A and B are shown apart, each in its own frame.
Chain A
Amino acid sequence: MEAQASADSKATDHARGATFWSDRLFKAVVVACASVMGLLLLLFAYELWQSSQLSIRTFGWRFWVSRDWDPVRERFGALPFIWGTLLSSIAALMIAVPLSLGTAIFIAEVAPRWLRQPVSFVVELLAAIPSVVYGLWGMFVMVPWLRENVQKPLAQRFGFIPLFEGPAVGVSMMAAILILSVMIIPYITAVSREVILAVPRTQREASYGLGATKWETIRYVVLRYARVGILGAIILGYGRAVGETMAVTMVIGNRPDLTTSLLQPGYTMASVIANEFTEATSPLYLSALTEIGLLLFAITLLINALARFLVWRVTKGEGRY
């Protein structure tokens, strides 16, 4: 009996030892993975900061507000690019968010079961298309169509409004915004759908039980419950819109102007880096491009922080679900 017990306890000890060993290894590995990420981020920021020193010292804060971008005379300013990036990505969000949320609600709450898979599949397929393909499609199909059917009538009838000032040449801020919104819709839709599907059944049942209609249930229960996740989905989409390079470069017209017209060409931070980095040889030029990268990095961080803050404000004091 005793021998049996001791053997048992030995076996447990052995098992426990193995658990400890593998647990520790596993923990070490995942901690390493996570710290590599953090370290990369720090290293990335440090490198950008280091390589932008020349530009930061030369131009100072004027770099942020200057409209010059003249590689020949080496006068650089980032304002048109910052403007273009913010305008294109925010406008793209304004188009993409309602469309994506509508689609997500349709898939999760409204569509008959047999239709959910096909619709999700089609939307997710959009996410799998490489951005250069979007760019080519934008350049050869969307841009000429936009020019003839949207921009020309707009410029003719509403050209007096600064927003629609002509001439209509096709490649423009408008084209970039449209292509960006198409590109971020699948991301926002897919994540929002998952979040909405994750809302517990009991919440919906309780709402119906209180006599709420379908609309009221979706509006006041489901969306309210899912809003933090949906905000996350929007941030994901925004991140993609800010960083998108290839497709935007092909349709935006690449002109560093501070334009308020949607019909005029513009430029974004990611695009100018992609366009000019390979052939930038002088140290100051390279440094100015790197500083744009640093600014892009900072803006992305800022927006992320802002979104976190929003989430925190929204959920504060009501106990997180």
Chain B
Amino acid sequence: MRQRSMSIVAGVLVATALAIVAGCAPKKGTTTTGSETKVQITGAGSTFVNPIMSRWSSEYEKLTGVQVNYQSIGSGGGIQQFKEGTIDFGATDVAVTAEEQKDFTRQFVQFPVVAGTVAVVYNLPGVTQNLQLSPEVLADIFLGKIKKWNDRRLAELNPGVNLPDQDIVVVHRSDGSGTTYIFTDYLSTVSTEWQQRVGRGKSVSWPVGVGGKGNEGVTGQVKQLPGAVGYVELNYAVQNNLTFAAIRNAAGKFVLPGKSTGEEATRMAVEKLKQDIGSSVVNMPGENSYPITGFVYVLVDKQPKDAAKSAEMKKFFEWVLRDGQKMAVELDYVPLAEEVAQMSLQKLAEVP
């Protein structure tokens, strides 16, 4: 009896070990269900684009049966995996620079698929209207130079608003994120002091404030902390009923983040994008353009290993750039301006 149970134990251990080894074996990119072979496209990257990407992939699967699997592991991870060739496309909130492209062993194209606006949100008991902020004041708040909500410079921008005598608590993202990149890119563009002291990046050394993890972390902090100010993607501000500020744009007008103001900003960027598709689109000219706007870019191989799959992927992104843009609005993203979508389609055409 004892011997048998010992053998059973040994057997189980061996079997477990084998199962673990088997579990590690690589999986194939296509799955065969019955007789038909389904095309599966895998992508990874930006967390910001995840909600709309899931929507696109489920709608597209209903239409064509092609499956698009997207893993929102972060832009950095997306670029890394794309570089290593483990995924079919990567998505990133920050375009791959010419410098970084030197590290790539493969030819690829990058193009915007959707845009988004970053809202400056705050929690001020008794203040329900949208505050007006100038770029200088916004930079000084995040530099820690403006410390109170009833600061003279804030009051001058917001006549008639009863600003409380409350400490400003800056809340920023603690995790590396494209949202932080867009926001600090904007601050670096409008404030030389910010550019010199802090700079632009997915993670920066914040002069003041506390860090929240993810958009939801920042949203949560701002919501429960009177006097807090932070920045989140617009959809988080809208869904959580946070009040957000109107920012003075390059044309001197105060504009709120939203579909039309973001779209206007992308339209204004067309000339710049013609020079370099990866150029920054913050602080664009135009009376109605929201200054803290950014794109999500997709990276696709120019010399794909699997031509059939690549053709399917091309069709998917063509659909995204045409029909998919309507869905962006429902999820508080900014659809690409027609001219920009056309440019993306041209870039996509370089893929065989």
B-facing residues in A263-289 (Cβ within 8 Å): 265, 271, 274-276, 278-281
Query: Which A-B residue pairs are the 3 nearest by beta carbons?
Result: A279-B176, A254-B211, A254-B174
A residues 9-37 touching B (CB-CB < 8 Å): 15, 18-19, 22-23, 25-26, 29-30, 32-33
0 or 1 for each of B251-268: is its CB under 8 Å from A? (1 = yes): 000000000000000000
Residues on A with C-beta less than 8 A from B199 are 72-73
B3 engages A265 (CB within 8 Å): no
Q: Within residues 132 to 184 of chain B, which ones have a CB less than 8 A from any CB in chain A?
A: 167, 169, 174-178
* Assembly CA distance A170 to B204 (angstroms): 23
Q: In angstroms, how far is the closest chain A Cβ from the Cβ of B301?
A: 19
A69 vs B10: C-alpha distance when bound (angstroms): 50
Q: Is A220 an interface residue (CB 8 A)?
A: no
Cβ A278 vs Cβ B73 within 8 A: yes
B221–A72 contact, CB under 8 A? no
Q: Is A228's beta carbon under 8 Å from chain B? A: no
Contact A22 B213 (CB under 8 A): no
B167: nearest residue on chain A (CB-CB)? Answer: A167
Question: Which residues of the other chain, A, contact B14 by a CB distance below 8 angstroms?
Answer: 29
Which one, A91-99, A139-147, A311-319, is touching chain B? A139-147
Q: Assess the A22–B7 pair: CB atoms within 8 A.
A: yes
Chain A residues positioned under 8 Å from B213 (CB to CB) = 249-250, 254, 275
Given known A-B contacts A26-B9, A167-B167, A281-B79, A72 and B224 have beta carbons under 8 A apart: no
A2 touches B (CB below 8 Å):
no
- Once the chains bind, are A140 and B79 in contact (CB under 8 Å)? no
Give the complex CA separation of A245 and B202 in angstroms.
20
Partner-A contacts on B (CB < 8 A): 3, 6-7, 9-10, 13-14, 17, 73-77, 79-80, 100, 167, 169, 174-178, 198-206, 209-213, 217, 220-221, 224-225
Mostly, the A contact residues are: helix
Contact partners of B17 in chain A: CB under 8 A:
32
Question: In the complex the two chains form, what is the Cα distance from A254 to B13 in whole Å?
Answer: 43
Residue of B nearest to A32 (CB): B17
Enumerate chain A interface residues (CB-CB to B < 8 A): 15, 18-19, 22-23, 25-26, 29-30, 32-33, 68-73, 139-140, 143-144, 147, 167, 169-171, 249-250, 253-255, 265, 271, 274-276, 278-281
Q: How far is the CB of B270 from chain A (nearest CB, A)?
A: 28
Known: A32-B17, A255-B210. 17 other contacts (CB 8 A): A18-B3, A22-B3, A22-B6, A22-B7, A29-B10, A70-B204, A72-B201, A250-B213, A255-B206, A265-B210, A271-B174, A275-B213, A276-B203, A278-B176, A279-B75, A279-B176, A281-B79
Nearest B residue to A250 via CB reads B213
CB atoms of B174 and A275 under 8 A apart: yes
Q: In the bound complex, how far is the Cα of B13 from the Cα of A150, in angstroms?
A: 53
Q: Are B177 and A279 in contact (CB under 8 A)?
A: yes
Contact of A276 with B176 in the complex, beta carbons under 8 Å: yes
| Complex CA–CA separation, A159 to B199 (angstroms) | 33
Q: Which residues of B contact A25 (CB under 8 A)?
A: 7, 10
Determine if B175 and A72 form an interchain contact, defined as CB atoms under 8 angstroms apart: no
Quote the shortest CB–CB distance from A25 to chain B (angstroms). Answer: 5
Distance, CA A169 to CA B255, complexed state (A): 30
B220 CB contact (under 8 Å) in A26, A69, A140, A280: A140
A169 touches B225 (CB 8 A): yes
Contact B77 A278 (CB under 8 A): yes
- Decide if B13 touches A29 in the complex (CB within 8 Å): yes
Closest residue on chain A to residue B96 by CB atoms: A281
Contact A279 B211 (CB under 8 A): no
Least CB distance, B239 to chain A, in whole angstroms:
16
How far, in Å, is A84 (CB) from chain B's closest CB?
A: 12
Contacts A71-B203, A281-B80; is A140 near B3 (CB within 8 Å)? no
Are the CB atoms of B224 and A144 closer together than 8 Å? Answer: yes
For residue B224, which residues in chain A have a CB less than 8 angstroms away from its CB?
A: 139-140, 143-144, 170
Contact present for B210 and A253 (CB under 8 Å): yes
CA distance A265 to B155 in the complex (A): 29
How many Å lie between the Cα of A139 and that of B212 in the bound state?
Answer: 10
Q: Nearest chain A CB to B172's CB is how many angstroms away? A: 9
The residue in chain B whose Cβ has the minimal distance to the Cβ of A277 is: B176
Residues of chain B with a CB closer than 8 A to A170's CB: 224-225
Q: Tell me the bound Cα distance from A253 to B9 in angstroms.
A: 48
With beta carbons under 8 angstroms apart, the residue of B9, B80, B205, B220 that contacts A71 is B205
Cα–Cα, bound, A192→B203 (Å) = 42
In the bound complex, residues from chain B placing their C-beta under 8 Å from that of A23 are 6
Please indicate the chain A residues that have their CB under 8 angstroms from the CB of B203 in the complex. 71, 275-276, 279-280
Across-interface contacts of A276 in B (CB, < 8 A): 175-176, 203
Pairs A–B under 8 Å by Cβ, sample size 12: A15-B3, A22-B3, A25-B10, A29-B10, A71-B203, A255-B209, A276-B176, A276-B203, A279-B77, A279-B178, A281-B76, A281-B79
- How far apart are B210's CB and chain A's nearest CB, in angstroms? 4
Give bound CA distance, A242 to B312, whole Å: 48
CB–CB A22/B210 < 8 A: no
C-alpha spacing A274/B100, complex, angstroms: 24
